[in-house]
């Protein structure tokens, strides 16, 4: 974990932002996989990690803004636990490491909450995403499961988002560590992308690299020669020459900071002409965003910049036509890039999404569009120094979507459906980097991962099959 001061400062800033009341945080519990004692690997709640740093199950934290006191509640290990799981530091000792002096057993939490309620203190909670914690909170607050929503506090959500959005130097070091491991995951994936290999062999190998880096994957590996399926978690295709393979994968560090990188490579290691043409367009979109992202720029405008770059490139190839500004304003390009350009990244790969995507990516200045494609943009608001976000444009040839739009005569002024027929077997290409917004621009985080056609072909020469 970070130094005690880091957590103390974070809690102090949160107190100052909210001003009064009790902030209640439930850490996560173990979650059963297929029977009670066989659990998924434990993942602590990211807000609990951010403010209290402790990475064990069954803990709760309280920040009493009115008295200035912080508390951690949890049960110490008993002999049975020690026999099965080994010795553990006491809750008191663990809490001291993150600057919290007040500790208690879990059963005391109820009493503290009930005293606060009697004193008329406002109890603030964050939105919940795990049923076990919804049930616990409902019991603790003496309301129905649905009733806990009345304790969800917008000022708490907004204060947490404003703090977690700006990454400090220690967090950047962690994120760069996660990208270091992702570098090995992606270069290994490239070297293994040879005809005859089954996707699961590569997906399993790179998930193992994530685990051996000290964390886990930051989301289930997306690896497919059908990259036109945006989040393809099936890995049962056999690689064939002529197809592209998308690998969208990242890992968490031991402290749970994420990386999220995508590379797309030609099976066998050599781009053919058609693959190279589409690839260069996606790469240009990715680079345009890197060259133009800086404080005060709306990320929605970066999304539109990527969209225009893609539409212009496709026009040069004869797949789109007409006025490109008009095509993008109307959303015609979304046939090829139906997703958003990117999202915040930090302790969650889609950072803070559990608190509400619209609070993280939108604000009073920019609201979510309802247009197909643009509606899926997770981050649209103005960028600030210290934001970490992804830049992940793509071009996909999705046969079902092409057929539907063609049948509906959609955007016939902008899309050349007859030429598109011959691309329906192409698949998809996505390129994703993780960016840090700096004083007057942005920095691509981590050691560069092969990205140009030449770099990828060079890396794939060293195939490791």
Distance (Å, rounded) from C-alpha 325 to C-alpha 281? 17
Do 384 and 218 touch, CB atoms closer than 8 A?
Answer: no
Query: How many binding residues for Mn ion (CB under 5 A)?
Result: 4
Shortest distance, position 75 Cβ to Mn ion, whole Å: 37
Asked whether position 390 contacts Mn ion by CB under 5 A, the answer is yes
Asked whether position 217 contacts ligand GLY by CB under 6 A, the answer is no
Cα-based distances in Å from 341 to 186, 299, 380, 439, 453: 20, 8, 9, 22, 21
Q: Which is nearer to Mn ion, 141 or 209 (CB)?
A: 209
For ligand GLY, which residue of 50, 73, 219, 405 counts as binding (CB under 6 A)? 219
Binding letters toward ligand GLY, positions 83-122, x by CB under 6 A? ----------------------------------------
DSSP assignment letter at 422: G
| Residues 6+ away with beta carbon under 8 Å from 302 | 289, 292, 293, 341, 391
Asked whether position 377 contacts ligand GLY by CB under 6 A, the answer is no
Asked whether position 248 contacts ligand GLY by CB under 6 A, the answer is yes
Query: Of 205, 105, 195, 186, which is closest to residue 448 (Cα–Cα)?
Result: 186
What is the C-alpha radius of gyration for the chain, rounded to an integer number of angstroms?
24
Shortest distance, position 64 Cβ to ligand GLY, whole Å: 37
Main-chain dihedrals φ then ψ at residue 248, nearest 5 degrees: -115, 105
Q: Which is nearer to ligand GLY, 174 or 248 (CB)?
A: 248
Q: Which of residues 259-278 bind ligand GLY (CB under 6 A)?
A: 260
The one of Mn ion, ligand GLY, none whose footprint includes residue 219, by CB under 5 to 8 A per kind, is: ligand GLY
For Mn ion, which residue of 70, 174, 248, 351 counts as binding (CB under 5 A)? 248
| Residues 6+ away with beta carbon under 8 Å from 198 | 235, 236, 237, 238, 239
Q: Strands of 309-431 (E only): list them.
A: 388-391, 394-396, 428-430
Q: Which is nearer to ligand GLY, 50 or 219 (CB)?
A: 219
Binding letters toward ligand GLY, positions 317-346, x by CB under 6 A? --------------------------x---
Residue nearest to ligand GLY (CB): 219
H helices present in 31-168, as ranges: 46-52, 79-85, 91-97, 107-118, 131-141, 154-165
Binding letters toward Mn ion, positions 252-271, x by CB under 5 A? --------x-----------
Asked whether position 349 contacts ligand GLY by CB under 6 A, the answer is yes
Distance (Å, rounded) from C-alpha 317 to C-alpha 319? 6
The one of ligand GLY, Mn ion, none whose footprint includes residue 124, by CB under 5 to 8 A per kind, is: none
Asked whether position 207 contacts Mn ion by CB under 5 A, the answer is no
Q: Which is nearer to ligand GLY, 164 or 343 (CB)?
A: 343
Torsion from C-alpha of 191, 230, 290, 329, nearest 10 degrees: 150
Kindly report the CA angle at 384 between 382 and 386, in degrees rounded to 5?
145
Asked whether position 391 contacts ligand GLY by CB under 6 A, the answer is no
Shortest distance, position 364 Cβ to ligand GLY, whole Å: 25
Where do contacts with Mn ion occur on this chain (CB under 5 A)? 248, 260, 390, 432
Where do contacts with ligand GLY occur on this chain (CB under 6 A)? 219, 248, 260, 343, 349, 392, 432
């Amino acid at each position: 974990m970070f130094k005690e001061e880091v957590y103390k400062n974070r809690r102090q800033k949160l107190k100052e932002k909210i001003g009064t009341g009790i902030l209640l945080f439930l850490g996560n519990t173990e979650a059963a996989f297929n029977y009670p004692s066989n659990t998924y690997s434990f993942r602590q709640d990211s807000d609990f990690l951010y403010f209290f740093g402790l990475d064990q199950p069954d803990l709760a934290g309280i920040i009493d803004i009115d008295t200035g006191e912080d508390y951690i509640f949890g049960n110490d290990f008993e002999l049975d636990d020690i026999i099965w799981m080994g010795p553990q530091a006491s809750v008191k000792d663990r809490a001291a490491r993150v600057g919290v002096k007040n500790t208690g057993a879990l059963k005391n939490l109820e009493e503290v909450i009930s005293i606060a309620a009697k004193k008329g203190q406002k109890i603030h909670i964050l939105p919940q995403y795990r049923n076990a914690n919804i049930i616990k909170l409902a019991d603790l607050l003496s309301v129905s499961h649905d009733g806990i929503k009345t304790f969800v506090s917008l000022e708490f959500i907004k204060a947490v988002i404003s703090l977690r959005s700006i990454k400090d130097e220690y967090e950047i070091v962690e994120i760069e560590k996660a990208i270091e491991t992702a570098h090995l995951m992606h270069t290994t994936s490239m070297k293994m992308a040879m005809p005859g290999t089954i996707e699961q062999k590569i997906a399993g190998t790179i998930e193992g690299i994530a685990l051996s880096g000290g964390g886990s994957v930051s989301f289930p590996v997306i690896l497919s020669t059908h990259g036109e399926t945006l989040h393809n978690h099936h890995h049962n295709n056999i690689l064939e020459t002529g197809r592209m393979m998308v690998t969208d994968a990242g890992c968490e560090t031991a402290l749970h900071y994420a990386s999220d990188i995508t590379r797309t490579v030609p099976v066998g290691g050599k781009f053919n002409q058609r693959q190279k043409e589409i690839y260069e367009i996606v790469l240009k979109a990715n680079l345009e965003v890197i060259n133009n992202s800086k404080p005060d720029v709306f990320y929605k405008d970066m999304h539109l910049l990527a969209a225009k770059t893609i539409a212009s490139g496709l026009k040069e190839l004869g797949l789109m036509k007409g006025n490109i500004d008009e095509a993008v304003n109307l959303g015609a390009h979304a046939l090829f890039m139906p997703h958003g350009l990117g999202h915040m990244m930090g302790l969650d790969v889609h950072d803070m999404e559990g608190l509400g995507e619209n609070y993280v990516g939108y604000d009073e200045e920019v609201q979510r569009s309802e247009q197909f494609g643009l509606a899926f943009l997770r981050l649209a608001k103005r960028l600030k120094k210290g934001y970490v976000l992804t830049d992940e444009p793509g071009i996909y040839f999705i046969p079902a979507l092409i057929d539907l739009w063609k049948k509906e005569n959609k955007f016939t002024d902008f899309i050349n459906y007859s030429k598109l027929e011959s691309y329906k077997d192409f698949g998809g290409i996505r390129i994703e980097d993780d960016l840090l917004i700096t004083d007057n621009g942005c920095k691509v985080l981590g050691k560069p991962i092969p990205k140009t056609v030449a770099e990828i072909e060079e890396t794939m020469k060293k195939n490791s099959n």
